[in-house]
Amino acid sequence: MAQVADLHLAIEIPNSRYQDFVTAGEAQLIADFACASHMVLGAALTTDWRGVDLAAQAVQVNRGGEVVALGKGSNALGDPRVALTWLANELISHGMHLQAGDAVITGTCVVPVPVLVGQHLTAQYPGLGEVSVAIAA
């Protein structure tokens, strides 16, 4: 973690060709790029995030002002730091590595929220801040 320069709050915007991606199966989802599509990366936090228990960090997603998902950091492989460490080690096992300036999404903390063009999402991370996005065509 000493090599991590900044922490950014983010919203991952998945996309899948599967209507019901939950039952599509692991192999299908991997072949579908794990439903990865876009991300909204907030500004680097200016608060002392290194002392925060990221596994216990609450997350609330609002769509159009209505709470539509609740989660916590431990939903990302038990702890976002564990997810980041796994990725770094996995890349090394394939002769690659993370480089300065790389942005890494450590995994979602909430279940994917259906969203339509014109809707507005806000992810709130109490004590850390929030990040939002308006979905455009």
Identify the sign of the CA torsion 18, 87, 68, 38: negative
pTM of the model: 0.84
Q: What is the pLDDT of residues 42-73, one digit of tens each?
A: 999 999 999 999 999 999 999 999 999 999 99
The torsion angles phi and psi of 34, rounded to 5 degrees, stand at 55, 30
Amino acid in position 113: V
Domain spanning 8-134, CATH class: alpha beta
Domain positions in the chain? 8-134
Helix, coil or strand: residue 64: coil
